[in-house]
Amino acid sequence: MNNIPSVDLADFLSEDPKRKQKFVQEIGSAYEDIGFVSLKNHFLSDALVDELYKEVKSFFALPLEEKEKYEIEGLGGQRGYISFGKEHAKGKKEGDLKEFWHFGQEPAADANLIEEYPKNVQVKELPDFNHTGMEAYRMLEKTGIYVLRALALYLGLDEFYFDHWATNGNSILRPIHYPPITEEPKGAVRAGAHGDINLITLLMGASAGGLQVLRKDGEWIDAIPNEDELVINVGDMLERHTNNKLRSTIHRVINPPREEWGSPRYSIPFFMHPRSDMKLNCLPECIDEKHEKAYDDITAGEFLYQRLVEIGLIKK
């Protein structure tokens, strides 16, 4: 396999039980094997993607002093602007060659959350920036809910097992700008090899290549979806919750060839997090004689805090 498997959400949404089961089996098997799929027929329209990229590029083109007004101290990078080189992969000292923005959850009034999410930061210079970002947020969240429903069925759970935890969850939409590379990077890459923290990540097509996935045999392969597909991968929370049945695969964004250093790269992942009080305890359905319980009990909020410290966004 030289690329990640492709699946069609229309199969799951069809009225045909065989097509629905086909999708469940295909995505579940892919997540056991490599942890990544590309997904067609999601809820994000081409027009919305184009509008979001236009707004995102306009924001990152602002002067640095303008962007830095939106870097809010004390939030651990949960909302607003995060400047160049602030984040690094777990276990690395070199900061990644990127700057980014965080849109966060705006929960329903009746969500009954035990936590209070920070408010989103409003960009005054771009009147459509926040509205467009949150519209894309909702469509990605909707797509993610259906993917989690398929995975619940694959795991032998109730189809709607994840709905409560993922709806109004602590999810993040992260537009990323990888600026042109102007000098030889000293050990730094655009995004160091890492696993994602969350349940699943949904990534709309990046403006340039570079995303690579580590196969079981230790070979790095390029993740190349079609233009109309999302790349969706398992995060560490879901790997932990499924006792390693579903794989959170290590991936990275490599630097381009020297002749392409002058080109920027834009990427917009949606990190689907549950509510902080969701227990990530290993599911009984995923424990047997061959697969003993691999992790201690922990909540999503506790696990998230640990990881934000490890990647440098929260200072202890």
Which tokens in the block code for residue 44?
A: 């994000």
Give me the pLDDT at residue 1, please.
Answer: 45
Helix 129-154 to helix 17-33 angle (10° resolution) is 100
Geometric angle at alpha carbon 172, from 169 and 175, rounded to 5°: 160
Against a cut of 0.75, is the pTM above it?
Answer: yes
b (16+ CB within 10 A) / e for 5-30: bebbbebbeeeeeeebebbbebbbeb
Q: Which two tokens stand for residue 150?
A: 């398929």
CA distance 100 to 79: 10
User: Given this model, what pLDDT does residue 209 score?
Assistant: 59
- State the CATH class of domain 6-310: mainly beta
Bridge partners of 52, per DSSP, are none
Quick one: pLDDT at residue 225?
79
Q: What is the pLDDT of residue 62?
A: 96
Please name the helix (run of DSSP H) or strand (run of DSSP E) that holds residue 309, with its range, or none. helix 300-310
Size (the chain), residues: 316
pLDDT in tens, the chain (316 residues): 457 899 999 999 999 999 999 999 999 999 999 889 999 999 999 999 999 999 999 999 999 999 999 998 877 788 999 988 665 445 545 556 789 999 999 999 899 898 889 999 999 999 999 999 999 999 999 999 999 999 999 999 999 999 999 999 999 999 999 887 666 666 555 556 788 999 999 998 654 457 888 888 888 888 877 878 999 999 999 999 999 999 998 888 776 666 666 678 888 999 999 999 999 999 999 999 999 999 999 999 999 888 888 877 777 6
Q: Where do runs of H (alpha helix) occur along 34-154?
A: 46-60, 64-68, 129-154
Residue 96 has a pLDDT of 62
State the pLDDT at residue 307: 85
- Rama region for 80: left / alpha / beta (φ>0; ψ in -120 to 50; rest): left
